[in-house]
Structure 1
């Protein structure tokens, strides 16, 4: 009698594979393997694929990006508009539906997050950072703290405040479980090229109009 040298594979339906592909952007075989490893649990498979994809994306994130698109979004009622530039490595990827959909989603994100003014912390001018430090340093609830504790509290608050001002740290409006930084990384893994948000501009109807 031959004892089982081979483990019986779990039957994975095409429907679940398709659902996993939609969630992660991974290939068919990668999805099948992930589902087999996760014993059919789609949430575990999603987590494992995303970890794998984000690791791969980190390696691509230092590559130069000279192509891409400028996209726009006009919110319902035509009172808010956004222009955004999304860069990639080749014109081929710039024409991909997935890349263009990402640009549109990012433009919608900017329209929805009106307290966001920068792509990342590196884009925030030093005078803005200095101003936030002065504000936090002068708050009454830390006056009686020790210098060490005061510095720790100020640093934590400043880190949070600066991230609140940046696009890449915002929860994605269509999936609150991921932030924009990881959404971009997922597309890097999916499309095989580095992708960067270069800049954006939000337009509010009547903003800064002098009616005096």
Structure 2
């Protein structure tokens, strides 16, 4: 049968696939729209499986939230170019909304959530892989839930996302502290949050350094105490100088506002993923030779 432009258009609208892929699918299914949709889904799954092993260390972090509940979602792709694509960003924002609404904490459970028009999140991810030609993954979800408190969020350049939960503080303060966390990346909220083994390891390192100085034992002890205090100030949120006013620490800022940080989450695109080193010029030459 004849494949009309309106049929191709309808298939594109329903699947998000490219025009040529839609036309080809309709030809192969003799113009049967539902069969063409199934064909494209299978094709998308095959392409998604083929690309799944490729490193996806670019992407975005998206925040979504309402009163007392917020979420960060990291969606990865292979290149910065795709990370800025409207289709990719639309998918990422919708996934963040669904993560917030559903309350799912795991990517696996979120993948089966309905995305729209009968598709799941996983269906749409596979379709996006087929459309954009890159490995795309919903990598992780970070929730924060606080009763009777305030959650502030800050996204830096789409690549770093932070949630900060406060009690006794306002929204603007929570956002300012989230900005601080994005910039200085404190490892812990305060000294009480530092694990005992981490503290002991640091003490042993400082002790070995101080003993090498050859100073008397009582001086060494003072050196260890002083250096440990300085180290804790560097790695804890409340000990760091506030990024917008270096004359006061975050702890002093919180005290003056009658507030306390009760939660902190920081997500950065691609952290922990080993990126492949590629020779772009060599890749272009290989493609030019038909390799």
Quickly name the TM-score band, shorter chain normalised: 0.5 to 0.7
Match in the other structure for 1:172? 114
**By how many angstroms is 1:205 displaced?**
5.4
- Mapped to 2, the partners of 1:173 and 1:48 lie a distance apart of 20
Structure 2: tracts of 5 or more residues without a match: 150-165, 168-291
Q: Deviations over 1:47-82 (max 9, x none)?
A: 00110111011010011111101112245xx55432
Q: TM-score, normalised by structure 1?
A: 0.64
- Cα pair 2:59 2:75 within 8 Å, conserved: yes
**By how many angstroms is 1:173 displaced?**
3.6
- Cα pair 2:61 2:73 within 8 Å, conserved: yes
- Mapped to 2, the partners of 1:14 and 1:207 lie a distance apart of 56
**By how many angstroms is 1:182 displaced?**
2.6
SS state at 1:56 partner: helix
Equivalent of residue 31 in structure 2, options 40, 49, 53: 40
Equivalent of residue 81 in structure 1, options 67, 70, 74: 70
1:185 has 2:185 as partner: no
Moved over 4 A (4+): 207-210
- Mapped to 2, the partners of 1:207 and 1:195 lie a distance apart of 37
Aligned residues: 152
Q: Compared with structure 1, are the counterparts of its residues 94 and 180 closer, same or farther at alpha carbon in structure 2 (3 Å cutoff)?
A: same
Q: Compared with structure 1, are the counterparts of its residues 118 and 37 closer, same or farther at alpha carbon in structure 2 (3 Å cutoff)?
A: same
- Mapped to 1, the partners of 2:44 and 2:133 lie a distance apart of 10
Equivalent of residue 83 in structure 2, options 94, 99, 102: 94
Matches within 5 A, 1:185-204: 185-204=126-145
- Mapped to 2, the partners of 1:42 and 1:171 lie a distance apart of 25
Q: Compared with structure 1, are the counterparts of its residues 36 and 110 closer, same or farther at alpha carbon in structure 2 (3 Å cutoff)?
A: same
Equivalent of residue 63 in structure 2, options 72, 75, 87: 72
State the structure with bigger RCO (CA 8 A, min sep 6), 1 or 2: 1
SS state at 1:183 partner: helix
Match in the other structure for 1:58? 49
Please, what is the CA RMSD of the aligned residues? 2.4
- Mapped to 2, the partners of 1:207 and 1:39 lie a distance apart of 60
* Structure with more strand by fraction: 2
- Mapped to 1, the partners of 2:137 and 2:24 lie a distance apart of 30
Q: Deviations over 1:169-209 (max 9, x none)?
A: x2324133x33223211111111111111212234452789
